[in-house]
Amino acid sequence: MLLGCLRDTNTYHFLLGLVKVALNAKEDSMESGMIRHGSLSEAVKKSELTDVAACALTPGPSPRWGEGEVHIRLNSLAPSGGEGSPPDGGPAEGPITRRSEFFHTFLVVMAVSSFLLFCRWVPNVYGQAQAFNASLSGTVFDHTGAAVPGAAVTLLNPDKGFSRNFNTSNDGRYGFTLVPAGTYTLKVESAGFRPYSQSGIVLAVGQSANQDITLEVGAVTEEVTVTAAVPILNTGDANVSSDVTQRQAVELPLNLRNVFGLVLLNSSVNNSQQNQALNPPGSQGTADQDIAFFNFGGGRFGTTAFLLDGHWDGAGDWDGTIYVPGVDELQEFKIQTNAFTAQYGWSMGNVVNAITKSGTNSFHGNAFEFLRNNNLDANYFFNNRAGIPNPQFKRNQFGFTAGGPLSIPKLYRQRDKTFIFGAYEGLRQQTPLTLVTTVPTSDFRSGNFSALLGPPTGTDALGRPILAGQIYNPFTTRKVTAGQLDPTTGLTATQSGFVRDPLVGNIIPEGLRDPVARNLLQYWPNPTGGGLVNNYTASGGAPVGVDKYTVRVDHVISNRSRMFARWSQERQFKQLAGELFGHGNVGGPGTVAPDNRWDIAGNYNLTLSPTFVMSVNLGYNRWVEGRKPQGVPFNPSSLGMPSFLDSNPGAFPSIQIDGTSSLGSGGLNATPREARTYAVDFTKIRGAHTMNIGFMGVRLYLNTFNSPQAGFHFPVSMTQGPDPTAASPNTGYGFASFLLGTGDNGGQNGVTLNANGAFQKGFYGWYFQDDWKATRKLTLNLGIRYDFQTAPTDRFDRYSWFDYTDPNPISKDIGFSVPGHLVYTGGGNRRGIYQPQYNNFAPRLGLTYLLKEKLLMRAGFGMFYIPAMEFGDYQGLSLAGFTQTTPYVGTVDGITPANLLSNPFPGGLILPPSKSAGALTNVGQFTNAVENFRPTPYVEQWSLGFQYELTPNNSFDVTYVGNHGVKLLFTFLEKNQLPPNLLALGNQLLDAVPNPFFGHITSSGCGLDQPTVPRGQLLRPFPEFCSVQNPQAPAAFSNYNSVQFTFNHRWSQGMQFLASFTISKYLDNAEGFEAWTSFQGAQIRDFYNTAAEKSLNPNDIPKSLVLSYIYELPFGRGKRYGNRMNSAANAILGGWQVSGVSAFKDGFPLGITAASNNTGSLGGFQRPNLSGDPHVSNPTIDRWFNIDAFTQPAAYTFGNVPRYMSNLRAAGLNSWDLAIQRWWNWQERIKIQFRAEMFNAFNHPNFYAPNTTFGDPGFGQVTGALPPRDIQFGLKIHW
| Residue scoring higher pLDDT (761 or 226) | 761
Q: How much is the pLDDT for 1255?
A: 84
Dist CA 952 CA 518 (whole Å) = 75
The alpha carbons of the chain give a radius of gyration, in whole angstroms, of: 33
Q: Mind listing the pLDDT tens digit for each residue in 1097-1112?
A: 988 999 999 999 999 9
Dist CA 546 CA 558 (whole Å) = 39
The answer to whether the CB of 376 falls within 8 A of the CB of 432 is no
Q: Is the pLDDT at 614 greater than 90, yes or no?
A: yes
Confidence of residue 1081 (pLDDT cuts 50, 70, 90): low
Q: How much is the pLDDT for 649?
A: 65
Q: Is the pLDDT at 67 greater than 70, yes or no?
A: no
Hey, is 502 helix, strand or coil? Answer: strand
Who contacts 478 (Cβ-Cβ below 8 Å, separation ≥6)?
486, 488, 498, 499
- For 87, the domain range is 2-121
**To the nearest 5 percent, what fractions of the chain are helix, strand and coil?**
15, 40, 45
Among 92, 30, 97, smallest CA distance to 830 is for: 92
Residue 1248: CB atoms within 10 A of its CB come to 18
In DSSP notation, 517-558 reads HHHHGGGSPPPSSSSSSS-EEEEEEEEEEEEEEEEEEEEEEE
Rounded mean pLDDT, 443-472: 96
Asked if residue 1272 and residue 1185 are part of one domain, the reply reads yes
Confidence of residue 286 (pLDDT cuts 50, 70, 90): low
Residue 785 included in any domain: no
Rounded mean pLDDT, 1015-1037: 92
Confidence of residue 878 (pLDDT cuts 50, 70, 90): low
Confidence of residue 585 (pLDDT cuts 50, 70, 90): confident
Q: Is the pLDDT at 55 greater than 60, yes or no?
A: no
Asked if residue 146 and residue 100 are part of one domain, the reply reads no
Q: Mind listing the pLDDT tens digit for each residue in 663-702?
A: 988 888 888 999 999 999 999 888 889 888 999 999 999 8
Give me the phi and psi of 516, to 5 degrees please.
-70, -40
Rounded mean pLDDT, 291-304: 82
Q: How much is the pLDDT for 869?
A: 66
Number of domains in the chain: 3
Q: Mind listing the pLDDT tens digit for each residue in 159-196?
A: 888 999 999 999 999 999 889 989 999 999 998 899 99
The answer to whether the CB of 302 falls within 8 A of the CB of 869 is yes
Hey, is 716 helix, strand or coil? Answer: helix
Q: How much is the pLDDT for 1183?
A: 96
Confidence of residue 575 (pLDDT cuts 50, 70, 90): confident
Greatest C-alpha distance within the chain: 118
Q: How far is CA 218 from CA 66, 151, 224, 689, 693, in A?
A: 70, 15, 10, 32, 41
Asked if residue 147 and residue 48 are part of one domain, the reply reads no
Confidence of residue 729 (pLDDT cuts 50, 70, 90): confident
Residue 598 included in any domain: no
Q: Is the pLDDT at 340 greater than 50, yes or no?
A: yes
Confidence of residue 1195 (pLDDT cuts 50, 70, 90): confident
Choose one of 194, 227, 260: the last residue of a domain: 227
Q: Is the pLDDT at 525 greater than 50, yes or no?
A: yes
Asked if residue 1130 and residue 1199 are part of one domain, the reply reads yes
Q: How much is the pLDDT for 396?
A: 94
Q: Is the pLDDT at 863 greater than 90, yes or no?
A: yes
Dist CA 525 CA 958 (whole Å) = 56
Choose one of 227, 249, 273: the last residue of a domain: 227
Instruction: Give me the residues paired with residue 394 across strands.
Output: 373, 430
Rounded mean pLDDT, 594-623: 92
Dist CA 899 CA 1135 (whole Å) = 73
Confidence of residue 1075 (pLDDT cuts 50, 70, 90): low
In DSSP notation, 312-338 reads E-B-TTT--BS----TTTEEEEEEEEE
Residue 144 included in any domain: yes
Residue 648: CB atoms within 10 A of its CB come to 17
Residue 1127 included in any domain: yes
Q: Is the pLDDT at 144 greater than 90, yes or no?
A: no
Q: How much is the pLDDT for 1220?
A: 97
The answer to whether the CB of 524 falls within 8 A of the CB of 468 is no
Q: How much is the pLDDT for 747?
A: 59
Asked if residue 212 and residue 104 are part of one domain, the reply reads no
Q: How much is the pLDDT for 272?
A: 66
Q: Is the pLDDT at 1190 greater than 80, yes or no?
A: yes
Asked if residue 109 and residue 87 are part of one domain, the reply reads yes
Q: What is the mean pLDDT of the chain?
A: 84
Residue 1196 included in any domain: yes
Residue 222 included in any domain: yes
Q: Is the pLDDT at 1025 greater than 80, yes or no?
A: yes
Rounded mean pLDDT, 855-859: 97
Asked if residue 1244 and residue 1204 are part of one domain, the reply reads yes
The answer to whether the bond into 1250 is cis (omega within 30° of 0) is no
Q: How far is CA 388 from CA 525, 529, 715, in A?
A: 17, 11, 32
Q: Is the pLDDT at 401 greater than 90, yes or no?
A: yes
Among 698, 644, 632, 717, smallest CA distance to 669 is for: 632
Q: How much is the pLDDT for 1052?
A: 92
Dist CA 524 CA 521 (whole Å) = 6
Choose one of 227, 245, 264: the last residue of a domain: 227
The answer to whether the CB of 430 falls within 8 A of the CB of 394 is yes
Asked if residue 101 and residue 22 are part of one domain, the reply reads yes
Q: How much is the pLDDT for 118?
A: 43
Give me the phi and psi of 476, to 5 degrees please.
-100, 10
Q: Mind listing the pLDDT tens digit for each residue in 106-142?
A: 444 444 444 444 444 333 333 333 467 889 999 999 9
Cα separation of the two ends of the chain: 52
Asked if residue 193 and residue 59 are part of one domain, the reply reads no
pLDDT cut 70: percent of the chain above it: 85
Asked if residue 1115 and residue 1200 are part of one domain, the reply reads yes
Q: How much is the pLDDT for 73?
A: 30
The answer to whether the CB of 842 falls within 8 A of the CB of 785 is yes
Hey, is 920 helix, strand or coil? Answer: helix
Q: How much is the pLDDT for 270?
A: 86
Q: Is the pLDDT at 1243 greater than 90, yes or no?
A: yes
| Residue scoring higher pLDDT (1064 or 747) | 1064
Hey, is 676 helix, strand or coil? Answer: strand
Q: Is the pLDDT at 849 greater than 90, yes or no?
A: yes
Residue 400 included in any domain: no
In terms of average pLDDT, the best of 582-596, 697-711, 726-740 is 726-740
Q: Is the pLDDT at 70 greater than 80, yes or no?
A: no
Confidence of residue 874 (pLDDT cuts 50, 70, 90): low
In DSSP notation, 178-242 reads EEESEEEEEEEE-TTB--EEEEEEEE-TT-EEE--EE--BS-TTS-EEEE-PPPSS--S---EEE
Asked if residue 166 and residue 103 are part of one domain, the reply reads no
Asked if residue 1204 and residue 1251 are part of one domain, the reply reads yes
Weakest mean pLDDT among 22-26, 548-552, 852-856, 1048-1052 = 22-26
Q: Mind listing the pLDDT tens digit for each residue in 931-954?
A: 999 999 999 999 999 999 999 999
Residue 601 included in any domain: no
Dist CA 611 CA 166 (whole Å) = 8
Residue 1143: CB atoms within 10 A of its CB come to 22
Q: How much is the pLDDT for 261?
A: 86
Q: Mind listing the pLDDT tens digit for each residue in 889-927?
A: 999 888 999 999 999 999 888 888 888 889 999 999 988
| Residue scoring higher pLDDT (317 or 43) | 317
CB burial class (10 A; 0-12, 13-18, 19+) of residue 490?
exposed
The answer to whether the CB of 740 falls within 8 A of the CB of 513 is yes
Give the CATH number of the domain where residue 223 resides. 2.60.40.1120
Q: How much is the pLDDT for 108?
A: 44
Weakest mean pLDDT among 1-5, 379-383, 1200-1204, 1275-1279 = 1-5
Q: How much is the pLDDT for 1161?
A: 57
In terms of average pLDDT, the best of 75-89, 331-345, 501-515, 530-544 is 501-515
pLDDT cut 90: percent of the chain above it: 54
